[in-house]
């Protein structure tokens, strides 16, 4: 069955370190998204991609980067982790269709000390 | 700016009907989605309205009024398993989606 996975599921890191969160989908979806979820803020869009080599900034992109070298993967990199980036991170993917349904991964809980 | 407003919490009794409202103000609008998220889980898609009117899927219905920048999710015959957070989300341009802060629904026996 097609799925979307994230790794690691939990990560603890220190301020200033570079961290990369992986997202892999086997739906063959063109669209992929990264969100962070914090209490009281719902899901906030960090970066998104509509296809290979395409990346776009979302609402809260400062301090984050992504690259899309193939259809299946959209890794999220925190260049220099900050305590304000402690959050739960969700990756999602969708088809380019009228339903706009996004399929979410299980999430990564990141703690920056 | 872009904003979506929905109540932070709603409480209802098992078997009852509950409506969760969402008003939005965004720079672009292509449609309104609703997602459900149980504690510790990932959001799951419930519905999408691109045009005005009511869409029904089993016990859940979703409504959109584009002229009022307003929509709602209606949950009927509430069950304990419906206790979760519900998010409205606007497709703001292309396939970019902006989410509201979520409504926590508590279903009491």
pLDDT in tens, A33-75: 999 999 877 899 999 999 999 999 999 999 999 999 999 999 9
Compute the nearest-CA separation of B13 from chain A (Å): 24
Contact B45 A107 (CB under 8 A): no
Q: Do A101 and B30 touch (CB under 8 A)?
A: no
Average pLDDT, chain B: 95
Residue A76 contacts residue A87 (beta carbons within 8 Å): no
Q: Is the pLDDT of residue B1 over 90?
A: no
**Token pair 């570079």: residue:** A18
Q: Is the pLDDT of residue A98 over 80?
A: no
- In three-state form (DSSP H/G/I as H, E/B as E, the rest C), the secondary structure along chain B is CCEEECCCEEEEECCCCEEEEEEEECCCCCEEEEEEECCCCCCEEEEEECCCEEEEECCEEEEEECCCCEEEEEECCCCHHHCEEEEEEEEEECCEEEECCCEEEEEEC
Q: Which of A14-23, A37-46, A79-88, B98-107 has the lowest mean pLDDT?
A: A37-46
Task: For residue range A9-22, list pLDDT tens digits in order.
Answer: 999 999 999 999 99
When pLDDT is averaged across residues B79-91 and rounded to a whole number, the result is 97
CA B92 vs. chain centroid, Å, equals 16
Residue B28: which pLDDT band, with cuts at 50, 70 and 90? confident
> Cβ–Cβ of B96/A94 closer than 8 Å?
no
d(CA A23, CA B80): 32
Which pLDDT value is given to residue A17? 97
At residue B2, the pLDDT reads 80
Average pLDDT, integer, range B78-82: 97
Q: How confident is the model at residue A99 (pLDDT cuts 50, 70, 90)?
A: confident
SS3 A70: coil
pLDDT computed for residue A107 by the predictor: 97
Cis peptide before A8 (omega within 30 of 0): yes
Query: What are the φ/ψ torsions at residue A85 (nearest 5 degrees)?
Result: -95, 5
What pLDDT is attached to residue A2? Answer: 80
Q: Is the model's pLDDT at B62 over the cut of 80?
A: yes
Could you tell me if B96 lies within 8 Å of chain A, comparing CB atoms? yes
């Amino acid at each position: 069955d097609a799925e979307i996975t994230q790794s690691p599921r939990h990560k603890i890191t220190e301020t200033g370190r570079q961290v990369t969160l992986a997202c892999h989908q086997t739906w063959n979806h063109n669209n992929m998204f990264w969100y962070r979820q914090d209490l009281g803020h719902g899901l906030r869009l960090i970066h998104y991609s509509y296809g290979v080599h395409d990346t776009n900034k979302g609402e809260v992109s400062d301090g984050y980067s992504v690259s899309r070298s193939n259809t299946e993967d959209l890794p999220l990199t925190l260049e220099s982790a900050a305590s304000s980036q402690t959050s739960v991170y969700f990756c999602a993917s969708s088809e380019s269709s009228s339903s706009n349904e996004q399929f979410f991964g299980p999430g990564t809980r990141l703690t920056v000390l | 700016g872009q904003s979506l407003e929905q109540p932070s919490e709603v409480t209802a009794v098992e078997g009852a009907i509950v409506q969760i409202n969402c008003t939005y103000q965004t720079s672009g609008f292509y449609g309104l989605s609703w997602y459900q998220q149980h504690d510790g889980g990932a959001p799951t898609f419930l519905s999408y309205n691109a045009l005005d009117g009511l869409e029904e899927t089993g016990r859940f219905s979703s409504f959109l009024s584009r002229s009022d920048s307003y929509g709602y999710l209606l949950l009927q015959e509430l069950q304990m398993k419906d206790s979760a957070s519900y998010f409205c989300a606007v497709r703001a341009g292309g396939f970019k989606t902006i989410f509201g802060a979520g409504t926590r629904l508590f279903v009491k026996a």
